[in-house]
Amino acid sequence: MTKTFINTGPGRFLYFAYGLNLQSAYMKRAAPTAVRKGTGCLCGYRVDFVRKNKKWKGAMATIVPHKGQQVFGAIWEIKNTDQNSLYRFNGVYSNYFYPRTVNVRHLEIDKLVNCIVFIQNAVVPTYIKHVRLPPARQPSEFYMQELMRGARESKLPILAQIYAQVKTNGKDYDEFLD
């Protein structure tokens, strides 16, 4: 497989989404110029749930290095003018997440592409299978439903299956109205 750069045009960049931004509705709020360019696979990382978030009433997804593992997600092309909005929406300016440039295998063209991805600023605890997450690392039921909806919208059934196995804290949408 060769490393390549998709011709994104001047003033654009690629972004790899594995969480809420799999859904076009969330992406349009985060970066109105975002256009879905396909799906990708990030090798050498796994999805994990580490740090609680008050808004989502549980832990949020992040990625952490893990040899032999992979993360599937959506690849979006975004105009540079939306970078600040994307960073704000994803908690970069509040130091919740930080951006990193990674090589993602674009599944439709089977080439490596450079993408920005967001990773939580958190100490990563020991790996625990998703079905056995302790309460402090469990996401809410509502949040996981949103992730699975995004995985299905992005045509990533493998990711939807992974997310379906995650142990949640049981908090549903009604509890978000409090």
Q: Residues comprising the binding site for substrate? A: 143
Helix (H, G, I), strand (E, B) or coil at 61: strand
E-strand ranges in 8-163 read 12-17, 35-53, 58-79, 97-106, 111-120
Tokens of 75: 């690849």
Q: At residue 113, what is the residue type?
A: V
What is the end-to-end Cα distance of the chain in Å, rounded?
50
Report the binding-site residues: 143
Instruction: Pick the closest to residue 114 from 130, 102, 128, 98 (CA basis).
Output: 102
Tally of residues, the chain? 178
Sort strands 111-120 and 97-106 into parallel, antiparallel or unpaired: antiparallel
C-alpha–C-alpha distance, residues 162 and 133, integer Å:
14
User: What gap in Å lies between CA 166 and CA 22, rounded to an integer?
Assistant: 17
